[in-house]
């Protein structure tokens, strides 16, 4: 049986800065080196602004400043992470929004052919409540490699 599996050229790697992020990045780097692929490191900032019950939701300049600071800190942390992992040449992206949505959106925009994410393989109630990885696997238009992490 012959299979023609194309080489990966654009790999989106979702980083959450947990200890296991290094294992996810190392696996993505290995795949990238074997395929001559480019890596896009992504960390989504999910900022939930404070809400007061009964009030209309009107974006406050203070909220935007907090979100901007979170994005700046995310970019700084992701650059440091990339350097530590030998990925200084990788594209760094820190969008604001739901992690699963941002991973899918970036993968589509960058024509990624592989998304690499980490999973803890949770069961029961945690799985029923959904997870970023589950959402990415079910909605991605490209291959998804889910790295099983120790917990």
CA distance 48 to 118: 23
For the chain, percent of residues with pLDDT exceeding 90: 60
Length of the chain: 151
Which domains, ranges and CATH numbers included, belong to the chain?
A: 10-148 (3.40.50.620)
- Please give the sequence-ordered ranges of beta strands (E in DSSP) within 10-141, or none if there are none: 10-14, 38-42, 91-93, 114-119
- Residue 56 phi, psi (nearest 5): -75, 145
pLDDT digits (tens, 9 = 90+) for 115-124: 999 886 555 4
pLDDT digits (tens, 9 = 90+) for 73-132: 999 999 999 999 999 999 999 999 999 999 999 999 999 999 999 886 555 444 444 588
**What is the overall mean pLDDT for the chain?**
84
Q: Is 96 within 8 Å of 45 (Cβ atoms)?
A: yes
59 pLDDT higher than 60: no
Higher-confidence residue of 119 and 135: namely: 135
Predicted local confidence at residue 124, as pLDDT: 46
Strand partners, 10: 38
pLDDT (mean) for 48-71: 63
Predicted local confidence at residue 65, as pLDDT: 62
Q: CA Rg, the chain, in Å?
A: 17
**Reported pTM:** 0.82
Predicted local confidence at residue 128, as pLDDT: 43
- Residue 76 phi, psi (nearest 5): -60, -45
Residue 24, Cβ density class (10 Å: 0-12 exposed, 13-18 middle, ≥19 buried): buried
């Amino acid at each position: 049986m012959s299979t023609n599996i194309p080489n990966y050229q654009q790999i989106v790697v979702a980083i959450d800065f947990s200890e296991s992020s290094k294992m996810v990045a190392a696996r993505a780097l290995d795949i990238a080196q074997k395929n001559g692929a480019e890596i896009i490191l992504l960390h989504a900032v999910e900022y939930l602004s404070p809400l007061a019950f009964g009030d209309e939701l009107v974006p406050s300049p203070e909220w935007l400043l907090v979100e901007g600071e979170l994005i700046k800190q995310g970019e700084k942390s992701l650059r440091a992470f990339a350097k530590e992992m030998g990925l200084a040449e990788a594209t760094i992206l820190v969008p604001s929004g739901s992690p699963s949505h941002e991973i899918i959106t970036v993968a589509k925009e960058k024509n990624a052919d592989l998304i690499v994410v980490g999973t803890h393989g949770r069961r029961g109630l945690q799985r029923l409540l959904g997870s970023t990885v589950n959402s990415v696997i079910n909605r991605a238009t490209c291959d998804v490699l889910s790295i099983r992490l120790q917990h």
